Structure 1
């Protein structure tokens, strides 16, 4: 049975390797499967959410350097624990917050804009994967170093496998996101036509379960408001 025919079974099969919890016992992943989203370009609603997120980030940055924001700082520590260099490869929350610091968040399409806004507003790294391009249930593990990961470079698709010990999200065809939440591959990336999506919310101890739930609640509410056909399912994975 396909993922979209049985989204709950898909969520039930998602898993995280024990070695990830050994590295960060405080880690939690909140997974959301959201189906039947009507595709659309950026609009007034997504613009309002982006502006709210930018205002929130600027208020935080006026008092706290980006690297001292608690959840950003926690992710930088997590990255160094497996040999990554957060200055070179910032987590997705830090990268978006720095975009605000330099001028503003990108405007891509309605779906991407909405989840970027939620990420920045709630200070939680979020990843979005196109479920129609995903192969099997998601799982998080530490890489052996020979896994497949395709990226676009110079207009071409090239294979850039993760480093040994790197924390990576995968499906049955290979790595879908490197360095926990640093960079997603083009194979499963969201597009202007994406209708069915897996959202991954990554949390460490600097983010409470209540804050994680609040972010998921807002994202679910906004996307459900786009169409009565939108359906949202979610599952929390923790050690």
Structure 2
């Protein structure tokens, strides 16, 4: 007997069939209005998460309205990220909305949990997530030696995104395999983000699920083994 194991975090994207060779040079500039809005949304996200922390601690439930708001902020952020800097896989300007937009090429969602552990909420966002933070830091953050005599390098995601758009500029084609890898990295980061934001008790897998569509579900057999 088997049961289906689905990740509660869904992140998907698709490449525009005709991408401009040079628009990526100014997308970060065009996205400035979004960055301004997102700055305030992320501040609200932090306060909402603090409120949710106490709600979960006392009741074992994440208030639905607060959950939907935080999912909306992460969804908005993913659309802007996909457009302007993470993968630059679309030339369609991101909509100004927290809601899902079915015809936009980037999607994000988190399944609402009916119950969350009151004990885990005390440790999962800092202690349990430390190994994941190290990995995510390599994916998206700066790393190096120090400030004065140091060498710094950008994260893996911005570096690979730059490689992808340079290839696009010279060939007119976005490298699909590189796109799939970038979405896999973004999917990993999104799962860690949702876990750290107390939105799920499922520990993010140390697994790179590549490709624009969500990975197929895993099945767990009665003896505990997992398989496709």
TM-score, normalised to structure 1's length? 0.27
Q: Higher strand share goes to which structure?
A: 1
TM-score, normalised to structure 2's length? 0.28
Higher relative contact order (CA 8 A, sep 6+): 1
Q: Higher helix share goes to which structure?
A: 2
